[in-house]
A and B are shown apart, each in its own frame.
Chain A
Amino acid sequence: QVQLVQSGAEVRKPGASVKVSCKASGYTFTNYGISWVRQAPGQGLEWMGWISAYNGNTHYAQNLQGRVTMTTDTSTSTAYIELRSLRSDDTAVYYCARDWSYDSLAPFNSWGQGTLVTVSS
C-alpha cells in the first residue's frame, strides 16, 4: 500500500532554513508527483506547490516563490521541501501528498503524517 513517511519535527529561528523529507513506498515513485500542503495552528489547508517525481518540474504557490524549493531523490524515493528565510507565520504542520493518478494532481488520497515546523526566537 502507498505510504508517505515524513521526517520529524523541527525548530528553527527566524531567518533560518528548514528541509523536510517525505519518503515514499508502495508504488513506483517516478509515476506520480508530490504536492506539499501546510496548516498553521488552528488554521486551514494551504497548498504550497508540486513537483514531478518523473522529471523534477515544479509549480510553486506565488506567495512562496523565491523562498521554497522542492526536490526529489529518485534513488531513495524521497521528496524534499526546503523553506528559507523562515518567519513566525511559517510555523505549521507540513504535509506531503501524492498525486491521485499519473495524469491528475488531485484529489489527495495519500498523505504523509505531517511534520511540525516551529519558527521561534
Chain B
Amino acid sequence: EILMTQSPATLSVSPGERATLSCRASQSVRSNLAWYQQKPGQTPRLLIYGASTRATGIPARFSGSGSGTEFTLTISSLQSEDFAVYYCQQYNNWPPLTFGGGTKVEIK
C-alpha cells in the first residue's frame, strides 16, 4: 500500500498570500496524483489531476507540480473561498487507492 503524507497539517495564511501544500508518496506514483478541495459539509472537489492539470473550471491560481514521490499544490493568491481542507490522492497503484491525511488552510 502506498502511504501518502501531507504537510503541514494546518496552514495559516492571510488572504492574498501564497499557500504551498506538500504531499509525499512512500513510493513513486509517477504523475498519477490528484488534489481535492473540501469545504465543511461539502463533497470533495477535484482541483488537479495528473499532478499538474487543472480540472474543468478550476481557477488559474491553483497549480500543481511534482512527480514520483514529491508533489506540491500552490495557491498563488488566497481568496476567501479557498479556505478549506485539501487532500492528495494517488491512483498509480491500486488497490488500494490512497489519500493523504489532508491539509487545512485557515485564515491567519
CA distance in complex: A32, B44 (Å): 19
User: Given A111-B43, A113-B43, A114-B43: A106 and B99 within 8 A (CB)?
Assistant: no
- A85-121: CB near B (< 8 Å → 1, else 0) gives 0000000000100001000111111011110000000
Task: State which of B11-19, B20-28, B73-81, B90-98 sits at the interface with chain A.
Answer: B90-98
Task: State which of A8-16, A21-29, A42-50, A71-79 sits at the interface with chain B.
Answer: A42-50
Whether B91 lies near A49 (C-beta < 8 A) is no
Whether A45 lies near B43 (C-beta < 8 A) is no
Whether A62 lies near B96 (C-beta < 8 A) is yes
Please give the distance in Å from A103's CB to the nearest CB on chain B. 12
Query: How many B residues have CB within 8 A of the partner chain?
Result: 22
User: Given A61-B95, A61-B96, A105-B94: A45 and B46 within 8 A (CB)?
Assistant: no
> What residues of chain B lie closer than 8 Å to A113, measured between beta carbons?
43
User: Given A95-B43, A107-B89, A111-B44: A44 and B95 within 8 A (CB)?
Assistant: no
Measuring CB to CB, which residues of chain A are less than 8 angstroms from any residue of chain B?
Answer: 35, 44-47, 49-50, 59-62, 95, 100, 104-109, 111-114
Please give the distance in Å from B31's CB to the nearest CB on chain A. 12
**B71 is an interface residue with CB less than 8 A from chain A:** no
Whether A44 lies near B99 (C-beta < 8 A) is yes
CA distance in complex: A107, B92 (Å): 10
> What residues of chain B lie closer than 8 Å to A111, measured between beta carbons?
43-44
Please give the distance in Å from A50's CB to the nearest CB on chain B. 7
CA distance in complex: A101, B8 (Å): 32
Please give the distance in Å from A67's CB to the nearest CB on chain B. 15
> What residues of chain B lie closer than 8 Å to A50, measured between beta carbons?
94-95, 97
> What residues of chain A lie closer than 8 Å to B100, measured between beta carbons?
44
